[in-house]
Amino acid sequence: MSLCNSVKTPMSKNEDKFFDSGNKLVNVAEFQTLIGELLYLANRTHPDISFAVTYLSQFCQKPEQKHLKLAKKILRYLKGTKEKTLVYSNKFGCINASSDASWGNAENGKSFSGSVLMLGDSLVTWKCNKQRSVCLPTCEAELCALAETAKNVLWAKNVLNELNCFSFIESCVIYSNSKSAIDWLNCARSSSKTRHVNLRFHFVKDLISGGEMQIIFVPTEEMISDFFNKDCYS
């Protein structure tokens, strides 16, 4: 792979569908080792490959040739972007986070959540994960993502509180591009049709009511967390 050509994106839109079904199986240990190494990079220094690696980790038990090819494409992407780095400022602001979710783009119909937590303009944590249950409307997937992001915000507030950095936790904001999820949280109570996400609903709503954080709508094109659950980057 040291002599491979670089590519502009770690994964292209609907790329997995370009392969014929019934691909040959590959060595499980080889594939799992590669995914493990990529996960290490994705979780520490390369948020730009988080979705692609998380998506491919679904196939660690029975990987096919197409999955190995996609994993090697991530290596080709990393070769072309090795000069890019995360930049941190010494001027910090308040906690702000971004939450987003795809809808049913996993192999089993489950959605992917993406979240980003920043301190001012500095990226602190990022996360991409497949949701545990299948969500029927998009609003439910967005609410699940908001709940996970809210947990990260609480963790950051507790850390800063222990460090006596009270000025950074006065106003915590989570940005979301889901008007339906925000409207749902602003209503008086949850719906009987969505009992399986009621706990997440009450968890986030309680944090908002208690002044712990606020949810603010932003357009999709301004969402930092958008590329943590999509299979196409530009």
pLDDT digits (tens, 9 = 90+) for 122-146: 899 999 988 877 777 788 888 889 9
9, 78 contact by CB (below 8 A): no
* First-to-final CA distance of the chain: 23
Q: What are phi and psi of 98, to 5 degrees?
A: -135, 135
Q: Is the pTM of this model over 0.85?
A: no
At position 87, the amino acid (one-letter code) is: V
Nearest alpha carbon to residue 38 among 88, 3, 1: 1
Distance CA 163, CA 158 (A): 9
d(CA 138, CA 184): 12
The three-state secondary structure class of 74 is helix
- Report strand pairing: 122-130 vs 173-176: unpaired
- 112-119, strands of its sheet edge to edge: 122-130, 112-119, 95-101, 173-176, 214-217
Which residue numbers in the chain have pLDDT < 70?
2, 14-22, 103-108, 166-168, 188-196, 229-234
- pLDDT 10s digits, 77-114: 999 998 888 988 887 788 899 999 886 665 667 888 88
Structural domains of the chain in order of their starting residue, each with its CATH number:
1-85 (no CATH), 95-217 (3.30.420.10)
How far lies 174's CA from each of 59, 178, 204, in Å? 32, 12, 11
